[in-house]
A and B are shown apart, each in its own frame.
Chain A
Amino acid sequence: MKVTRRDFFKISGATAAGLYASQLGFDLSPASAYAATLRIKGAKETTTICAYCAVGCGIICHTSGGKVINTEGDPDHPINQGSLCAKGAALYQWVNNPNRVSTPLYRAPGSAGWKKVSWDWALTEIAKRVKDARDQGFVKANAKGQVVNRTENIAHIGSAALDNEECWTIQAMMRSLGLVYIEHQARI
Chain B
Amino acid sequence: MTLTALRPTATLDWTAICPLDRLDPDRGVAALVDGVQVALFRTGGELYAVDNLDPVGGAYVMSRGIVGSRKGMPTLASPLHKQVYDLRTGQCLDLPGVALRRHEARCRDGLVEVRLRQEQ
Q: Do A and B bind each other?
A: no
Q: Which A residues are closer than 8 A to B by beta carbons?
A: none
Q: Which B residues are closer than 8 A to A by beta carbons?
A: none
